[in-house]
Amino acid sequence: MIKMKYRKMGSLDWEVSALGFGAMRLPAIFGMAGGVKKKKAIEIIRSGIDQGINYIDTAWLYHLGGSEKVLGEALKDGYREKIKLVTKLPLMFVRKPEDFDKLLKQQLERLQTDYVDIYLFHGLNRNNFKKIEELNLFAKMEKAQEDGLIKHIGFSFHDTLPVFREIVDSYNWDMCLIQYNYMDTGIQATTDGLKYAHEKGIACVIMEPLKGGQLANPPDEAIEVMKKAKNTRTPVDWALQFLWNLPEVALVISGMGNQRMVDENCQSADKSGINTLSEDDTKIINELAEIFRKNILVPCTTCQYCMPCPYGVNIPDNFAILNNFNQYHGLRKTSERKKYKKLVGDAKRVDLENPNGNASICTKCNECIEKCPQNIQIPDELEKVHAILDKKKDVSEFY
């Protein structure tokens, strides 16, 4: 029997489950951009809540509105009352202050609820943060709060530490959602940013605990390190326990797409606790982090924000194949090259509805670059993908 662990949520008077349900990678027909498989999604969301999850994170952009819509259905029959529901303002669609009201209204309708527990500015960085000030969107947030449409105010973040500090200092935030995992302690908000926000009483919620699933699929070298540990853990459990060990972390959001993930993550949460990792565990995690840092060539988290590419390049798949190719050996390496060959290299045969283009299709239109929260120079990296996987150039020529 699983017993969910509960934690303190910054300065809020909430007991939140150690594990939050991220509704960005629900079972779907074509990944994050495609239609959600409603029945399956509802089943796993409710199963997570039945196992003690009391925090669900979604956004307008997840499954292009499909995530909020399916949550509206999943949270019927008394499930809404059991959880804190969090969604995000899609800043990219806000051109004038009135857009705020229209977007929030549509989100509440999709979610079939009168209020959300936290409303976040989605994906703040140096550029879009200016927009909040220019359009006075803080006033919009506060009005929505007064009207009872939102209970608390937060932001999700993708930029560097100085920008993070600036944003943290600019407002009396209730929470922040940051990318953090044992590999990414020195990028984005970084460990210093996590501590800084926590000291200010802001609840720090963690996204990308597995770096888009990459930490769940370790190379052989990392598996050997895990085998040396006194505690036997799965790769996912290593990554999650690293986060739950930290007192600064309120909860960890995991984007779960099937029942196995929900069950395994809930089991891990059951064993979690602050300062529970041993010295040996910490040593193992440091070794794993070094291995992943060395092996992951393109820091793509498969978030899909860059999609769709107007020419049909499947950007995240191209990067995932390259990263796997670099970390694996022997047959696994060959199989990644085969996967690359299965992507289409002929612009006339590309399926724009279900993007299947390989890196060679990229026209360097640059439309995707600004959308990437990881600041990946996508066209340049795609060129390297093709050179390595198709032309068989050596990785060391580029990285």
153, 144 Cβ separation under 8 angstroms: no
Q: How far is the CB of 312 from ligand SF4 (least distance, A)?
A: 8
Kindly state the tokens that stand for 103: 């977007």
> Out of 39, 260, 342, 364, which residue is the one contacting ligand SF4 (CB under 6 A)?
364
Decide: is 31 part of the binding site for ligand SF4 (CB under 6 A): no
Question: Residue 363, interface with ligand SF4 (CB under 6 A)?
Answer: yes
Compose the 318-347 pattern: x for residues touching ligand SF4 by CB under 6 A, - for all others.
Answer: -x----------------------------
Q: In this structure, which amino acid lies at residue 101? A: D
Contact with ligand SF4 (CB under 6 A) among 58, 67, 327, 374 = 374
Residue in 189, 87, 197 with CA at minimum distance from that of residue 144? 87
With respect to ligand SF4, which residue has the nearer C-beta, 246 or 307? 307
Query: Which lies closer to ligand SF4 via its Cβ, residue 187 or residue 274?
Result: 187
The one among 206, 368, 385, 388 contacting ligand SF4 by CB under 6 A: 368
First to last CA, the chain: 47
Cβ–Cβ under 8 Å, residues 378 and 318: no
For the bound state, the minimum distance from the C-beta of residue 308 to ligand SF4, rounded and expressed in Å, comes to 8
Amino acid at 394: D
Minimum separation from the CB atom of position 41 to ligand SF4 (A) = 21
**Shorter beta-carbon distance to ligand SF4: residue 54 or 179:** 179
The Cα 217–Cα 296 span in angstroms is: 11
Nearest Cα to Cα of residue 211 among 323, 313, 322, 312: 323
Residue 363 CB, shortest distance to ligand SF4, in Å, is 4
Strand bridging mode 12-17 / 6-9? antiparallel
Is 40 a binding residue for ligand SF4 by CB under 6 A? The answer is no
Minimum distance, C-beta of residue 378 to ligand SF4, in the bound complex (Å) = 5
Total residues contacting ligand SF4 by CB under 6 A comes to: 28
Q: Which is nearer to ligand SF4, 261 or 368 (CB)?
A: 368
Q: Map the footprint of ligand SF4 across residues 289-318, applying CB under 6 A.
A: 300-306, 309-311, 313, 315-316
What is the secondary structure of 329-351 as a DSSP string? -HHHHHHHHHHHHHSB--GGG--
Scan residues 217-236 and list those touching ligand SF4 (CB under 6 A). none
Closest CA to 289 of 194, 216, 181, 212: 181
Cα separations (Å) of 302 from 12, 184, 319? 32, 15, 8
Map the footprint of ligand SF4 across residues 343-362, applying CB under 6 A: 362
Cα dihedral sign for 45, 46, 49, 55? Answer: positive
**Token pair of 328, please?**
């694996």
Provide the minimum distance between the beta carbon of 58 and ligand SF4 in the complex, in angstroms, as a whole number: 17
Q: How far apart are CA 197 and CA 177, in angstroms?
A: 11
Query: Which residues of the chain form contacts with ligand SF4 (CB under 6 A)?
Result: 300-306, 309-311, 313, 315-316, 319, 362-368, 371-372, 374, 376, 378-379, 382
